[in-house]
Amino acid sequence: MKIITRVLAVAAAVSLAGISGCAAREGGPPAPQPVASNTPSAPSAAASAPANEPVITIRDFAYEVPASVSPGAMVTVTNADRAPHTVTVKNEGGFDVEVPAGGTVTFQAPDTAGEYGIICSFHPQMTGTLIIK
C-alpha cells in the first residue's frame, strides 16, 4: 500500500509540473506575480533615521516630539497617518516641512535655542512645541 501511495504522489507531482511547463511553453497565461500594496505601512523611526538623529512622529493627527533637539541638528519626521501633514513653526522666519501620508522627511533644526511652537498648516488643531537647547 505504501508503494502505491508513493507512486501516485510522484505521478501527481510530475503531472502538475508538466502542466505548468506547458502553459509557459505554449503561450498560456504567465504565472501570477506578487502584487504590491498601495497601502502605506507605518514608518519605522528606527529604520528611517540614524540612532543619534532626533525623530518627530506624527500619529493619529498628533505630534510626538523629542524632549529637546540640539541647535542645527538634522530632525527626521515620520508620518504614520494616511493624510499629509506639515511641521510648520508658528512664528515667521522658521521652518515649514510637508510630510506626505506614510512618508518621511528630514530638516535642519534652527541654530538658535528656544521653544518653537509648531502647527500643521493642513490641520490647525495639531500643535506642539519643539525645544532647541
Residue 8 DSSP symbol: H
Do residues 59 and 45 make contact, with C-beta atoms less than 8 angstroms apart? no
Do residues 107 and 56 make contact, with C-beta atoms less than 8 angstroms apart? no
Instruction: List the CATH code of the domain at 45-132.
Output: 2.60.40.420
List pLDDT tens digits, range 63-86: 999 999 999 999 999 999 999 999
Helix, strand, coil percentages in the chain from 3-state DSSP, rounded to 5: 20, 30, 50
Annotate 45-69 with DSSP letters as a single string.
HHHHS-TTS-EEEEETTEEE--S-B
Q: What is the model's pTM?
A: 0.63
- The residue ranges of every structural domain in the chain are 1-30, 45-132
List pLDDT tens digits, range 2-54: 444 444 444 444 444 443 443 333 444 443 333 333 334 444 444 455 667 89
